[in-house]
């Protein structure tokens, strides 16, 4: 650790002239005021608790998400943010769980741990039927089960026999070595065939639903990918005319494996499924929430921080992404309460539809920043648009493209900031080293080159805009909390969220006041595939 | 590891003369026949699966336990065991869960993870009521809640704020160092006041039920002691006239903490509890299951191996103690199939009521081995008899006392045998080193002095009989499986259970054929308390 700190200090000393290159008109007392506001008058824990506990899960277009849209706007307004508004985009149906139960009734009664899969229909009372274990994952699998599924609850996952033997603790903080390993420049992969493969898999979900329905199955079930009775319930068919026709549940791994063993060795168990779920089609638009601290120079453009407000439904969306949302909102509150008057506008964005394919931030890109061609391509919807977006060329900047000076995204749980990813934007390294330097004693000392993916900075990066994520201590987010039934407030770390909110506020203020905007990468053009001799794999 | 093996080999060489001291008339080819039978015709996995999956949880006197009593006797008989029978003792009521649900209905609907507490009554339909958080753990706590609990569901656990930050993997195998640390002689603690303190706590459970009932509460709930949505549902008031009057549930930590937070910051949430549980009073006796391989010398006495057959109800009683039961039964099958004709009888015992205080093995002690005085003391029942048993003096051996040459207990999950605990019986160390020596390459090389507790060898040890447990790899038994909803078959390790069954069979055969019985410790007398200057702590 000590060696790491010395090395970081040496890098910083070398970089000081470069950092001065973009200029810093910021009042250096300001950082102490942000720390004071974010420490002694912090609201971030209350914000995270309200989102997680009072509002709870926030599946896009669900009643929970609608409450969150209203409440977050009200909070921004209360804290003095300006231009608070929502921006809609086409999404699909609202869906929520009112009550659910899955129970084995024979060979013996036992209450199972299970959850309805998102956007599957209600059972309209109780379905009682024997199971059949019929593992399937591609259309070619259908043939072997034809004629055998009528009146059955179909278990479609091939169960593994035994539980995991995890080698690591589920709770982790990064060592200096863990962080140093991420300081590596790697080419961004480009595989234009990947989108097709993914679209095919998405299409498979529709075909399986149709097949099972045609065969007379009464419901289907899949197995949780986590051990330890954790469940998720993700589903991706949310469009107005594409929600599934059959009720379906995800069953905890222990319970699913027991069903499969019983079916293999004797009479198939009978299940009783009650899935009281509700659709809401009153508004098919999803909404991003936006709020601002106006800049003093209307021609200087804006910097932005964002987190997705939507969640899955098994837990309360606390780490994913109540924590990120609360820290974005807290940074806004800290800056507003500190009375800053930045040169550039600071915009805060709370995205919708992230869990279904970064759809909120994708909509923002299309609405404000750039179009991706061909312009006359049939516009895919839902998850399909996510898979296809990256392979649409060329990128045509909109007038607003030049205005966005930097974007910071939070979507890695509630762990404290340990540094920041330069995301292959090598030119920002010395600048971020300078901006981080007040926070080394708070644990945030590292600028690493690594690229991160899977969340709302991706589509901004892909059009050549500087989009970043912070290095955060992983805690138990990836190991057991991500999308599961224990994504609850008690798995957040309050101290960490206070620290991260302060550092985000400081980064935003630095970016907003820098004389020059952050260095950009060139406008991307369609890559030449670098390995023309590679045979594509059918499975991705 | 290498150093450890060398050290063990050195000890073995030194001890060989001592091992010869008790004589070995065993055919040395026999061990290879046991290994062959236990490897190539193993039934242990099927036995464990039948107990866990088909029969499921086996709460003492529940329908599951009754099925297990019948099935295990049938299996013993099928495998050629003799004198297969059951021995009853007074226990209490049968109880089982048919269906259950706990749901938060306001401020928003969410299905909670919860389980009825054992031996609490049914709700007879659905109870819907607001919660009140009223942490209590001693009678003195009642005063502050008097008059505030009418019509409420009372949350009696003081919730901690945040989830655990586990530092270790939940799955573990012992290193040589882990095992070496257990090779330490420690005095057995004796604290005659401990029983009184424990009885007081047990009495508190009765008083809390009466207090809440008198106050008009409609149900109560406690918080799980594990994170990660694991639940247990243990309860200890199972006597004929002492089962609780109020319905009660254990709620997963994440769900309980959410309820407590919501209640603290706003209007108390409303819960809906449906607890469809069933009592069975057709037979208040519990039963130990016994089976034998008869010895050739009727005057040579017997050796015994045992495991408790009963379990809790949240899972299937797979690791606790389907695994131990299956390994005991498999050792019996291996020995029977191998056609052994030992000098001493080998007796197999499957205990009942272990989870409520080692009551089955205690009954065996009282029925066959020794009485503990004073003879005219009022006989406490249930858990109370467990707490009081160790402090009743003197110990008066029965005629059968001399006959029991050795007892081996299994109750540590499905992990492979890594060695054996000498349990402070220093004289057996060289003998066990000799008996283990064929199994070092299977991972079982260590004889350590350590004492173990908390299961069915304890009351035999306490009367001076040689009772032992094996060192087993811990796996995820203690970390997440013990008494929880994931005590299921998929958390067992089949390879490990085969190895352990073979080693147990070999130990039994060695003990049954040894020229002399295993060394004993002297008949215990009431200890002089060794630290008369210590002040007793009120809490234990």
Q: Which of A56, A172, A229, A416 to mutate to test the interface with B (most CBs of B within 10 A)?
A: A229
Q: Looking at the structure, tell me whether residues A135 and A98 fall in a common domain.
A: yes
Q: How far is A116 from chain B (nearest CA, A)?
A: 11
Structure confidence at residue B373 as a pLDDT band (50, 70, 90): confident
Instruction: Specify the range with the lowest mean pLDDT, choosing from A24-28, A308-312, B197-201, B302-306.
Output: A24-28
Rounded Cα–Cα distance for residues A43 and A54 (Å): 16
Q: Do the Cβ atoms of B117 and B234 come closer than 8 Å? A: yes
Mean pLDDT over A490-497 rounds to 98
Q: How does residue A530 score in pLDDT terms, banded at 50, 70 and 90?
A: low
pLDDT digits (tens, 9 = 90+) for B470-510: 999 999 999 999 999 999 999 999 999 999 999 999 999 99
Q: State the pLDDT at residue B460.
A: 97
**In the predicted model, is pLDDT for residue B399 greater than 70?**
yes
Which residue in B160, B149, B129 sits closest to B256, CA to CA? B160
Among A53, A98, A161, A476, pick the best mutation site for testing chain B contact (most B Cβ within 10 A). A53
Is the model more confident about A107 or about B384?
A107
Q: With a cut of 90, say whether residue B378 has pLDDT above it.
A: no
A375 is a domain residue: yes
What is the distance in angstroms between the Cα of B499 and the nearest Cα belonging to chain A? 18
* Cβ neighbour number for residue B20 with a 10 Å cutoff: 13
Inter-residue contact A384 to A238 (CB < 8 Å): no
Measured between alpha carbons, how far is B339 from B329 in angstroms, rounded to an integer? 15
Burial B39-65 (b: 16+ CB within 10 A, else e): eeebbbbebbbbbbbbbbbbbbbbbbb
Do B150 and B291 belong together in one domain?
Answer: no
Q: Is B239 on the interface with A (CB under 8 A)?
A: no
Lowest-pLDDT range, A526-530, B48-52, B77-81, B132-136?
A: A526-530
Q: How confident is the model at residue B195 (pLDDT cuts 50, 70, 90)?
A: confident
Whether A13 has a pLDDT exceeding 80, the answer reads no
Domain of B258?
94-171+199-280
- Shortest Cα distance, chain B CAs vs residue A160, angstroms: 9
Residues B240-247: what's their mean pLDDT? Answer: 95
Q: Is residue B475 part of a domain?
A: yes
Shortest CA distance from A272: residue in chain B = B99
- A139 close to B (CB below 8 A): no
> Is pLDDT of A454 > 50?
yes
Does A489 contact B113 at a Cβ distance shorter than 8 Å?
no
Strand A270-280, strand A285-293: pairing: unpaired
Nearest to A489 among B109, B258, B488 (CB): B258
Is the N-terminal amide bond of B219 cis, ω within 30° of 0?
Answer: no
Residue B376's pLDDT is what?
42
Chain B positions touching A162 (Cβ under 8 A) are 490-494
Q: Which of A53, A103, A162 has its CB closest to that of B258?
A: A53
Domain annotation covers residue A41: yes
Residues B167 and B296 in one domain: no
Among chain B residues, the shortest Cα distance to A166 is held by B171
Percent of chain A's residues with pLDDT above 70 = 92
Distance in angstroms (rounded) separating the CA atoms of residues B18 and B28: 18
C-alpha A119/C-alpha A383 separation (Å) is 14
Give contacts of A476 with chain B, Cβ < 8 Å: 163, 165
Spatial distance between the Cα atoms of A487 and A506, rounded to a whole number of angstroms = 28
Among A112, A114, A175, A254, most B C-beta atoms within 10 A, so best to mutate, is: A254
Nearest to B74 by CA among B361, B300, B333: B333
pLDDT at B364 over 50: yes
What mean pLDDT value characterizes chain A?
Answer: 92
Structure confidence at residue B163 (pLDDT): 97
A152 plus A111 within the same structural domain: yes
Instruction: Check whether residue A32 and residue A163 sit in a common domain.
Output: no
CA A312 to chain centre: 10
**Residue A81 included in any domain:** yes
pLDDT of A442 > 80? The answer is: yes
The answer to whether B330 and B47 have CB atoms below 8 angstroms apart is yes
Coil/strand/helix, residue B143: helix
Report the CATH number that the domain containing residue B323 is assigned in CATH: 3.40.630.10
Q: What is the mean pLDDT of residues A454-473?
A: 97
> What's the whole-number mean pLDDT along residues A60-70?
98
pLDDT tens for A324-345 read 999 999 999 999 999 999 999 9
CA–CA gap between residue B431 and residue B456 (Å, rounded): 23
B-proximal residues of A, 242-281, CB under 8 Å: 253-255, 257-258, 261-262, 265-266
Q: Compute the nearest-CA separation of B416 from chain A (Å).
A: 15
Minimum distance, in Å, between the CA of residue B333 and any CA atom of chain A = 21
Decide if B182 is inside a domain: no
Q: Measure in Å the smallest separation between the Cα of A20 and chain B Cα atoms.
A: 41
Alpha helices, DSSP H, located in A342-428: 359-364, 382-389
In a domain, A215, yes or no: yes
Give the rounded percent of residues in chain B with a pLDDT score beyond 90: 84
**Is there a single domain that holds both residue B163 and residue B212?**
yes
Of B109, B163, B169, the CB nearest to A99: B109
- 8 Å CB contact of A261 and B489: yes
Q: Cβ contact (<8 Å) for A229 and B254?
A: no
Name the token pair of A259: 């069903």
Q: What CA–CA distance (Å, rounded) separates A453 from A411?
A: 10
Cα–Cα distances in angstroms (integers) from residue B471 to residues B183, B184, B320, in the given order: 11, 14, 16
Q: Is the pLDDT of residue A376 over 50?
A: no
Q: What is the CATH number of the domain that holds A233?
A: 3.50.30.30
Q: How far is CA B503 from CA A22, B27, B389, in A?
A: 73, 16, 32
Question: How many CA atoms are closer than 13 Å to the CA of B173, on its beta-carbon side?
Answer: 13
State the pLDDT at residue A14: 39
Residue A12 confidence (pLDDT) above 50: no
**Do B350 and B252 belong to one domain?**
no
Are B247 and B385 in the same domain?
Answer: no
pLDDT greater than 90 at residue B177: yes
A contact residues 71-100, partner B, Cβ 8 Å cutoff: 96-100
Number of domains making up chain A? 2
Report if pTM > 0.90: yes
Tell me which DSSP letter residue B59 carries. -
Q: Is the pLDDT at A385 greater than 90, yes or no? A: no
Task: Pick the residue of B96, B161, B258 with the most A CBs within 10 A to test the interface with A by mutation.
Answer: B258
In terms of domains, do A260 and A313 share one?
Answer: no
**Is it the case that residue A106 has pLDDT exceeding 60?**
yes
pLDDT digit string, tens, across residues B22-41: 555 557 789 999 999 999 99
For residue A403 the two structure tokens come to 């205005």
CB of A489 within 8 Å of a chain B CB? The answer is yes
- What ipTM was assigned to the predicted interfaces of this complex? 0.93
**Which of A67, A96, A109 best tests the B interface by mutation, with the highest count of B CBs <10 A?**
A109
Q: Check if B56 contacts A (Cβ < 8 Å).
A: yes
Is residue B402, in this structure, part of any structural domain at all?
yes
Tokens read off for B153: 């569901």
d(CA A98, CA B21): 72
Answer yes or no: do B381 and B401 share one domain. yes
A175 touches chain B (CB under 8 A): no
- Angstroms from B275 CA to nearest CA on chain A: 11
Does residue B322 sit in the same domain as residue B383? yes
B478 to chain A, closest Cα gap in Å? 14
> Is residue B487 situated within a structural domain?
yes
At which residue do the structure tokens 């706990």 appear?
Answer: B102
Distance CA B337, CA B512 (A): 17
Q: Is the dihedral of CA A25, A29, A33, A35 positive or negative?
A: positive
Please determine, for residue A206, whether its predicted confidence score (pLDDT) is greater than 90: yes
Instruction: List all residues 6 or more positions away from B102 whose beta carbon is below 8 Å from its beta carbon.
Output: B111, B112, B113, B114, B221, B249, B251, B271, B272, B273, B274
Nearest chain A residue to B105, by CA: A98
Lowest mean pLDDT among A380-384, A459-463, B248-252: A380-384
Interchain pair A490, B254: CB under 8 A: yes
DSSP 8-class letter at A315: S
Tell which of B222, B256, B280 closes a domain: B280
A152 in the same domain as A43: no
> Which B residues, 178 through 217, put their C-beta within 8 Å of a C-beta on chain A?
none
Residue A247 has pLDDT above 80, yes or no: yes
- The 10s digit of each residue's pLDDT in A115-154 is 999 999 999 999 999 999 999 999 999 999 999 999 999 9
Mean pLDDT over B443-456 rounds to 96
Which of B280, B297, B324 terminates a domain? The answer is: B280
Q: Which of A96, A489, A493 sits opposite B261 (nearest CB)?
A: A489
Instruction: Report how many Cβ contacts below 8 Å link chain A to chain B.
Output: 152
């Amino acid at each position: 650790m000590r060696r790491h700190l010395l090395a970081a200090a040496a890098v910083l000393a070398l970089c000081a002239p470069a950092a001065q290159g973009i200029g810093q008109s910021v009042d250096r007392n300001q950082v102490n005021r942000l720390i004071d506001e974010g420490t002694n008058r912090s609201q971030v824990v209350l914000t995270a608790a309200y989102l997680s506990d009072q509002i709870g899960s926030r599946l896009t277009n669900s009643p929970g998400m609608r409450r969150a849209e209203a409440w977050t706007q009200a909070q921004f307004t209360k804290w003095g943010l300006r231009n608070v508004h929502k921006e809609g985009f086409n999404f699909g149906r609202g869906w929520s769980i009112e009550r659910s139960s899955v129970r084995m009734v024979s060979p013996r009664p036992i209450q199972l741990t299970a959850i309805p899969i998102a956007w599957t229909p209600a059972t309209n009372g109780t379905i009682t039927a024997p199971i059949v274990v019929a593992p399937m994952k591609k259309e070619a699998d259908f043939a072997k089960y034809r004629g055998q599924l009528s009146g059955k609850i179909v278990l479609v996952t091939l169960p593994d026999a035994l539980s995991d033997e995890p080698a690591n603790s589920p709770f982790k903080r990064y060592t200096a070595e863990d962080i140093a390993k991420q300081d590596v420049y790697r080419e961004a992969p480009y595989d234009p065939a990947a989108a097709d493969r993914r679209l095919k898999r998405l299409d498979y979900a529709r075909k399986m639903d149709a097949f099972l329905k045609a065969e007379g199955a009464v419901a289907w079930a899949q197995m949780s990918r986590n051990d330890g009775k954790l469940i998720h319930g993700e589903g991706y068919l949310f469009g107005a005319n594409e929600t599934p026709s059959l009720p379906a549940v995800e069953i905890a791994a222990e319970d699913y494996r027991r069903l499969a063993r019983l079916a293999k060795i004797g009479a198939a168990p009978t299940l009783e499924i009650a899935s009281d779920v509700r659709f809401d089609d009153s508004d098919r638009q999803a909404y991003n929430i936006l709020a601002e601290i106006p800049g003093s120079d209307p021609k200087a453009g804006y910097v932005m921080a964002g987190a997705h407000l939507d969640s899955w439904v098994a837990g309360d969306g606390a780490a994913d992404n109540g924590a990120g949302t609360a820290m974005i909102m807290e940074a806004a509150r800290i800056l507003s309460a500190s009375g800053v008057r930045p040169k550039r506008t600071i915009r805060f964005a709370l995205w919708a539809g992230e869990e279904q394919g970064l759809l909120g931030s994708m909509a923002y890109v299309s609405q404000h920043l750039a179009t991706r061609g061909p312009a006359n391509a049939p516009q895919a919807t839902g998850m399909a648009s996510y898979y296809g977006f990256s392979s649409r060329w060329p990128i045509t900047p909109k007038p607003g493209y030049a205005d966005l000076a930097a974007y910071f995204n939070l979507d890695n749980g509630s762990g404290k900031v340990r540094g920041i990813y330069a995301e292959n934007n090598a030119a920002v390294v010395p600048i971020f080293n300078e901006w981080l330097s007040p926070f080394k004693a708070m644990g945030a000392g590292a600028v690493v080159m690594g690229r991160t993916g899977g969340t709302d900075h991706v589509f901004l990066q892909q059009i050549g805009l500087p989009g970043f994520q912070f290095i955060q201590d992983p805690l138990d987010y990836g190991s057991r909390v991500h999308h599961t039934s224990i994504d609850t407030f008690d798995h957040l770390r309050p101290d960490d969220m206070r620290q991260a909110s302060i550092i985000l506020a400081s980064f935003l203020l630095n970016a907003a006041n820098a004389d020059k905007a952050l260095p950009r990468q060139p406008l991307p053009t369609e890559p030449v595939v670098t390995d023309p001799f590679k045979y594509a794999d059918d499975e991705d």
